[in-house]
Structure 1
Amino acid sequence: MKRDFFRTALACGLLALGSTTQAQTALTDIDQAVKAAQAKQLPVFIDFSAIWCHSCHEMDAKVLNGTDWDQRQSRFVLVRSDADSVNGSTWMKKLSVPALPTYVVLNPDGSERGRLTGEFTRAKFYPALDRLLSGADSLSKLKADALHGSTEAVAKVLRAYRDRNQQQEGLRWYASLPVATRNAVKADPDASTRLAAIEAHAEMTAMIEGGRRDMIDAELRKETDPAKRKAMRELIGPLPASMPVSRRAALAKDCRVHAQQALNGPMELEQHFDIAGTLLECTGTLPKPEQKALVSAQLPALKALYDTKIPTAGSGALRGATYTLASYYRALGDSAGEQATYQRAIAIGRKALGDGHGGFDVKRDQAMAEVFGEFLSRYGSPSDKNEDLALQKAMVEAYPDNAFYQTEYGGSLLRQGHAAAALPYLQRAADNASAQNKLGYTHSLAKALIALNRRPEAEKLFNAALQTAEKQFPTETKMEMTVWKQSGGVL
C-alpha cells in the first residue's frame, strides 16, 4: 500500500480571483477540530497520513497545494492527523480507515459525510472534494440516489465500502437494492466493473480468511518448543473458524470470474494492477498446470500495460504495478522475469531522481525517492548496496525532521557495524517519533547504545518507552514484544 508524513501547517495565501486567500493553519487533534467545527458550523476535513507514507507525500506535493487548495479552506476546519499518534490511530479505528492516505469529511456533529482514499490527480481530486463538501456525494445522499436507480451512485457507494475494507457489507447493501437497479448496474460498464471488483475482493478475503486457521495450525505444529509455541499462540490471538476446502475452492472460482470481468471493464491504471493481483491470489487453489495456464494468458497484456504506462506514472502506480507483475513471474517460476521487473523499477526510479552527477535529487520527488529506495534495498544487486546507502543519506539530509528516514539510515549503519556513526540518527529518530513508533525507534537506539557498551542507559531508555507504549497501545506493544523475544531477545 504502504504512506505523509504530514506536517502541522499549510502554505501561505495565494492570489485568487483578484483577491488574496489566506490558508488556515491545520489542527492536529481531531477532537479539537470537531469542537471548532461545531462552533463555526463547518465540516471537518481530516488528512490522515504518516511519515512513512509515500502516497501521502505524492498527494502533498502534487495535489494539496496551490490556489485550488487554498481557496477551499474557508469551507472546512482542517486537521492533519498523524496516523501513528494516539489521537489519529483512535480515530482511524473509529472511522474504519484501513489505508493511507485517506481524506475524511465529517459533519459538524462529528458524523462522517464521506471520504476520498488513495492517490488522485488534481483534476479528479478537487471536483470530488467539492461534491463531498456540498453534500452531493455524502454517503447518505448517494445511497438515496442509488435507491432511485442511479447507477453512478451505486458505483460510488460500492467504492466507499471498498475504501473502508467492508466489501461484504457493501455487497449486502447492493443485494438490498431493487431488482431494476441491479439490472441497470449490470448493463452499465462503470458500475458493473466496480461491482465485479468488490465481489472479487470480498471473495478473495473470505477465501484467505477461511484458510488461515489451517495455515496457523500447520505452523504451530512445526514448532516443537512449548514455550515458543505458546508465545506464537498469544501473538496470533483468537483463531478464525475453519472452512471446508470445497467452500474455499468455490470462493476462489467466483473470485477468478469476477476479477476477469473487472479486468475487461474500464479501470484506472492502479486499479487494473490491483485487481490483477486479486486474480492471481485466487488461482492458488488450482492445480499447478491450470494456474500457470491462467497466469500465462494474463501476463502479456499486463506486461504491455506496465511497459507503456508505468515509466511515466507516479510512484504509487510504479510500486503497486511492479509487485503485481513480479508476482505473476514468480507464479510461473520465472525468477529471471521477476528480478528483471524489479530491476526495471529501479531503473525508472534512478532516472527520475538522478542529478546528472552520480547522486540523487530526492527533493525533486520525495514519494518516488521512497519507492526507489524500497526496491533498491530489497531487490538491488550487491553492487547497488552503496547506492542504497547514498540514497538513504540523501534522504536524511534533505528531510532532517523525518524520523522514519533517520531510523532507516541509522539502522543501516548499525547493521554494518558502525554504531557510533548510527547513534545520532537513531537518537534523532527516537526523539521525534510519533507515539506508535516510539517504542520501535527507541529499540533501535538501545541496540546502538549496547553496541557502544552503554547497556544501562539503553535499558533505562527502552523501559521508559515500553511503559508508555503499554499504556497507549497495549495490544500492539504485546505483539511487538513477542516478536522481539522470538527473534532472540528484546535487547
Structure 2
Amino acid sequence: MSPLSRFAVVLCLSLPLFAACNRRPAAPEPAAPAAAKPALSFDEGLAQARSHQSPLIVDFHAPWCYSCYFMATNILTGADWAAVEKKAVVVEVDADSPDGAALMQKYGIKFLPSYLVLNAGGDELGRILGEKTRAEFYPQINKLVDSGETLDALRATVTDGAPTSVVAGRSVLKSYLARYDAAGGLQWLTTLSADASKALHDDTAAALTIARLQFLQASQQNDGDAVLRIGATVLAGDLGCERPYELDRYFEFASKRPDAHALIAAQQPAAEKLVATGVFGDRPCADKRSAVLSLADIDDALGDQTAKKALLERAIADVEKDLGGDLKKDRNLDDNLRIYNDQLAALTGNYAAYDALMPRLIDAWPDDYVYAARWGKSLLARGDAAQALPQFEKAAEQAYGINRLQVAEQRVKALQALDRDADARRVVADALKANGPWFPDEAARLKALIKA
C-alpha cells in the first residue's frame, strides 16, 4: 500500500483563504454531555487568540480520516484536554471543505490529522502529525503551547555541544520533519558551528532524525539508490510506531528493484516485532492499522498469502473483541474492521463478510457519506453498478466540498455502466453548480467523464 493510503494525505489546491468550516467527525454521545461550545472558524479563533494573547491550536481533520476519529474519541478528551483548552484557543478545520483546503495549502499540511500550534501573532510554534497515544500527545502539545517558542527562536539556542543545545537541536530537526521540509532542515544543519553539528550527529535521537530528513529528501528527488541506502539506515533505527510510514517510502522504491524480494524480506522481522508488541502486545501503538497493513504488504510482496490471511483474520478478531458487537462504540475501530475485511476479501475473493459489514456501518453512522461511498466504490469495482448506484445516491445526500465531486464521479461511472448517460450528465451539472469555483482538478476530471 502506498504512503498516501497508509497515513491519510490530502493534496491541497491553490485556493483563496476563507474562514474554515468546522465539521467534526461524529463521535458517540457521552453519558452526560457537557454544553457544546460554539464552533469557531479559523479567523475567529485567531482573533480570539490575539485578544487573549493565547496560543491557537488548529485541528485539521476529515470525515474519511480514521486516525482523526481515534484522536477525537480517545485522546482529545478528559481532564488533560480540558487543561489544554483552558490555555489555548482550539479550532477544527475540515480538510474537505474549500476553506479547509485553502488552510492546508497555506500552512503546508500534508497529513491528517495534524495539530498546528500558532502563537497569538499567527507565527507557528510547531505541529504534531498523526495518531498518538496520550503519553505521546500531551507532552508534545503542552510543550508547544507552554513554551511559546517559534522555530526561529529555537534554532537560535542551538549554539554548541552542550546538552541544552542538543535537546533544542532535536526539537528543531523534528520540526523540519513534521513540516516535510527536508531541504530546509538539512540546509539549517550546514549553518551550525562545528561543535553543534558534531554533537547532533553523535546524538542517537538527533542522528536518526537527520537520517530521516535525508531519506525524505532522497524520495522527494526520486533518487532510488539514495532512498535504498539511507532507508536501510533509517529502518535499522528505533522508529517505534512510526516504522510503517518509513517502510512505505522504502517499499515504493525497493519493489521496483531486481532484488526486491531480498530487500523487502530484510524488513520482515522488525515489522513482525512491531505487530507483536504494538498491535497484539502490551505496548500498543495508537495507529495499529498501519502496523498491520505494513506487515500484510510484506507478506504479499514475499508471496506468503497464508501469512497475510492469518494476520488479517487475527486483526479482525482483535477489533471485533474490542468493539464487543457495538459499532457505535468507536469509529476508528469500525474503519479498521472495514479495511481488514476489505483486504481479506480482495485476497480470498470472498466478499460475503465485507458486504454484510458495510450496511451495518452505514446504519451505525448515518450522518455522513463515507461508508455508503466506500461500499458503492467496491461494488462498482466488482462490476455491480446496479447495486453500487443506490449507495452513491445515499452518499451524495451527505457529501460536500471536495467529496461532493468525488462521489459524483463514482455515481457518473455507475450510471454510464448502466447506459444512463442523460442521468450522468445531470449529475455532473448539479455537482459542478453546487461546487462553484472550488477544486478545479476534481471538477475537470468530472467533466472529462462526460466528454469521454
Shift of 1:203: 1.3
Give yes or no for contact 2:428–2:446 (8 Å, CA) kept in 1: no
Shift of 1:445: 4.3
Aligned pair 1:156/2:171, yes or no?
Answer: yes
TM-score normalised per structure 2? 0.82
Aligned pair 1:344/2:344, yes or no?
Answer: no
Secondary structure in structure 1 of the residue aligned to 2:196: helix
CA distances 1:17-56 after superposition (whole Å, capped 9, x unpaired): xxxx9774332x3123223333333222111000110111
Give yes or no for contact 1:2–1:100 (8 Å, CA) kept in 2: yes
> Bigger shift: 61-70 or 462-471?
462-471
CA distances 1:130-169 after superposition (whole Å, capped 9, x unpaired): 1111235542332222245522222222222222222122
Aligned pair 1:464/2:430, yes or no?
Answer: yes
| Among 159, 173, 196, the residue aligned to 1:181 | 196
- Of structures 1 and 2, the one with the larger relative CO (CA 8 A, separation 6+) is 2
Whole-angstrom CA distance in 2 between matches of 1:152 and 1:39: 32
Give yes or no for contact 2:60–2:112 (8 Å, CA) kept in 1: yes
Residue equivalent to 2:371 = 405
Matches within 5 A, 1:240-319: 248=223, 252=225, 254-269=226-241, 271-283=242-254, 288-289=258-259, 291-312=260-281, 317-319=287-289
Sort the Cα spacing of 1:338 and 1:192 in 2 relative to 1 into closer, same or farther, 3 A: farther
Residue equivalent to 1:199 = 214
CA distances 1:273-315 after superposition (whole Å, capped 9, x unpaired): 33344444454675x35x5444444433433433343324768
CA distances 1:174-208 after superposition (whole Å, capped 9, x unpaired): 222222111111211111111112212211221x2
Q: Which letter maps to 2:406?
A: G
Residue equivalent to 1:85 = 97
Whole-angstrom CA distance in 2 between matches of 1:440 and 1:201: 30
> More helix per residue: 1 or 2?
1
Shift of 1:369: 2.1
| Among 281, 291, 303, the residue aligned to 1:321 | 291
Whole-angstrom CA distance in 2 between matches of 1:373 and 1:303: 22
Residue equivalent to 1:238 = none
Give yes or no for contact 1:373–1:391 (8 Å, CA) kept in 2: yes
Q: Which letter maps to 1:86?
A: P
Residue equivalent to 2:116 = 104
Give structure 1 stretches of 5+ with no counterpart. Answer: 16-20, 209-247
Residue equivalent to 1:26 = 39
Residue equivalent to 1:170 = 185
Task: Please identify the structure whose Cα radius of gyration is greater.
Answer: 1
Sort the Cα spacing of 1:476 and 1:135 in 2 relative to 1 into closer, same or farther, 3 A: farther
TM-score normalised per structure 1? 0.76
Residue equivalent to 1:221 = none
Give yes or no for contact 2:28–2:330 (8 Å, CA) kept in 1: no
Sort the Cα spacing of 1:126 and 1:276 in 2 relative to 1 into closer, same or farther, 3 A: same
| Among 122, 135, 145, the residue aligned to 2:134 | 122
Give yes or no for contact 2:155–2:172 (8 Å, CA) kept in 1: yes
Whole-angstrom CA distance in 2 between matches of 1:329 and 1:383: 17
Secondary structure in structure 1 of the residue aligned to 2:237: coil
Give yes or no for contact 1:33–1:79 (8 Å, CA) kept in 2: yes
Shift of 1:374: 1.9
Sort the Cα spacing of 1:42 and 1:24 in 2 relative to 1 into closer, same or farther, 3 A: farther
Residue equivalent to 1:373 = 338
CA distances 1:65-107 after superposition (whole Å, capped 9, x unpaired): 1121122212222211100001110000100001100011122
| Among 54, 60, 81, the residue aligned to 1:48 | 60
Residue equivalent to 2:155 = 143
Sort the Cα spacing of 1:8 and 1:113 in 2 relative to 1 into closer, same or farther, 3 A: farther
Whole-angstrom CA distance in 2 between matches of 1:162 and 1:138: 15
Shift of 1:330: 4.8
Give identity over the alignment, percent: 28
> Bigger shift: 385-394 or 339-348?
339-348
Residue equivalent to 1:364 = 329
Residue equivalent to 2:17 = none
CA distances 1:363-402 after superposition (whole Å, capped 9, x unpaired): 3332132133123224425564121122211211111112
| Among 352, 367, 372, the residue aligned to 1:386 | 352
Sort the Cα spacing of 1:384 and 1:378 in 2 relative to 1 into closer, same or farther, 3 A: same
> Bigger shift: 6-15 or 258-267?
6-15
Shift of 1:344: 0.7
Q: Which letter maps to 2:39?
A: A
Sort the Cα spacing of 1:292 and 1:416 in 2 relative to 1 into closer, same or farther, 3 A: closer
Sort the Cα spacing of 1:302 and 1:257 in 2 relative to 1 into closer, same or farther, 3 A: same
Shift of 1:5: 7.5
Residue equivalent to 1:6 = 24
Secondary structure in structure 1 of the residue aligned to 2:213: helix
Shift of 1:119: 1.1
Give yes or no for contact 1:104–1:114 (8 Å, CA) kept in 2: yes
Matches within 5 A, 1:402-481: 402-412=368-378, 417=384, 419=386, 423=390, 425-445=391-411, 456=422, 458-469=424-435, 471-479=437-445, 481=447
Give yes or no for contact 2:58–2:90 (8 Å, CA) kept in 1: yes
Q: Which letter maps to 2:330?
A: D
Shift of 1:481: 4.3
Give yes or no for contact 2:228–2:254 (8 Å, CA) kept in 1: yes
